[in-house]
Amino acid sequence: MNAASDLLRRLRRHPSGVAAGVFIALLVVLALGAGLVPHFDAQAISSESMRPPSFRFPLGTDELGRSVLAGVVSGTRVSLTVGFFAALFATVIGTMLGAAAGFYGGWLDTVVMRISEFFQVIPGFILAAVIVAMTGTGLSQIITVVSLLAWPQVARVMRGEVMRVKRIEFVDAVRCLGLPERQVLLGEVVPNALAPVLAVGTLIVGQAILLEAALSFLGLSSAEQVSWGRMLNSGQRFLFNAWWLSFFPGTAIFVTVLAFNLFGDAVGAVLNPRATR
């Protein structure tokens, strides 16, 4: 109980992070509910094409008379799916490799760190675009590529934390109980090193959403799926006469990524009160 109230007290010091968390929760609800409302079909075409925002179409319509509002709502699904799964895979891979590298050291550490350095040096977006262009534009390809590019960030943080935690006395105490090294790592060191990783993982959600949007903007997404980046791609052709086609989907990307950045910063600050920003 005490720990929970302590956490709440610390959360209160980050109102923007709390607001961002509430916003993200609303987005999740929206994404889950998007398919349930029947007249909210993002693909439904109508005769009222290229209408500016009005009472009937609050965010206007596109060249096929599809509602921009329905598109923005249904685009939440693609963005959140890619964001969550890419961040999840990147965090799992990065945690495992970073923990092993930091705990065992030696050649394993060198290899993992060199590979992660490699992925941080090369221009990730261009690589992602090339791979997706050549292997196909499905969501699973995009998720794979993004997690492939993002795990080194997690691995670096995890490695540093594991190196710090493994030097604390309690780890030696556990060793004296006769636990095997593997169990010391998985049962004692990793749980105590996870906190900063959660913050990085949250930030990766935002980056993944941004990357997916950029790929869709270049046309690298499935044509059947409505996504924010894809809407900006078609909006590009009508910049001169339909500002609403670009303005609203882009605002959705911006606000969502901003929310994950704010939330990630707050998570980092709350879980690790000693670290100064």
Partner 1 sequence: MRFYVLSRLASGAVIVLAILVLNFVIVHIVPGDPLHALLGDFPVPPGYAEQVRAEFGLDKPIVAQLGLYLWNLAHGNLGFSFANRSPVLELIAARLGPTLLLMLPALFFAAVVGVVLGLAAAPRAGSVQDSALTALSLFGYSVPVFWLGQIIVIVFAIRLGWLPAQGMRNMREDFQGWDAVEDILKHLVLPGFSVMIFYVAVVARVARASVGEALHQDYVLTAQAKGLSRRTILWRHVLPNAMIPVVTVIGYNFGQTMTGAILVETVFAWPGIGNLFITSITNRDYPVLQGIFLLVSVSVVLINIVTDLLYSALDPRVRSAHEREGPSRARMAPTGDGGTARSAKVAHHERGL
Residues lying near partner 1 in the complex (CB under 8 A): 118, 120-131, 133-136, 146, 149-150, 152-153, 156, 200, 203, 206-208, 210-211, 213-214, 217-220, 229, 232, 235-236, 239-240, 243, 246-247, 250, 253-254, 257-258, 261-262
Q: How far is the CB of 99 from partner 1 (least distance, A)?
A: 18
Q: How far is the CB of 22 from partner 1 (least distance, A)?
A: 17
Q: How far is the CB of 174 from partner 1 (least distance, A)?
A: 25
At 6, list the tokens.
């302590």
Q: How far is the CB of 149 from partner 1 (least distance, A)?
A: 5
**CB-count exposure of residue 38 (10 Å: 0-12, 13-18, 19+):** exposed
Nearer to partner 1, 127 or 186 (CB): 127
Nearer to partner 1, 188 or 212 (CB): 212
Alpha helices in 15-138 (DSSP H): 15-33, 68-104, 106-121, 124-135
Nearer to partner 1, 42 or 201 (CB): 201
Single out the residue of 79, 76, 59 nearest to residue 68, CA to CA: 59
Nearer to partner 1, 123 or 178 (CB): 123
Q: Which residues make beta-bridge pairs with 67?
A: 61
Nearer to partner 1, 208 or 270 (CB): 208
Q: How far is the CB of 93 from partner 1 (least distance, A)?
A: 14
Cα–Cα distance between 277 and 271 in angstroms, integer? 13
Q: How far is the CB of 37 from partner 1 (least distance, A)?
A: 27
| DSSP secondary structure letter of residue 185 | I
Single out the residue of 23, 29, 73, 67 nearest to residue 45, CA to CA: 67
Q: Sign (positive/negative) of CA torsion 197, 203, 207, 208?
A: positive
Nearer to partner 1, 73 or 231 (CB): 231
Single out the residue of 164, 83, 144, 151 nearest to residue 117, CA to CA: 151
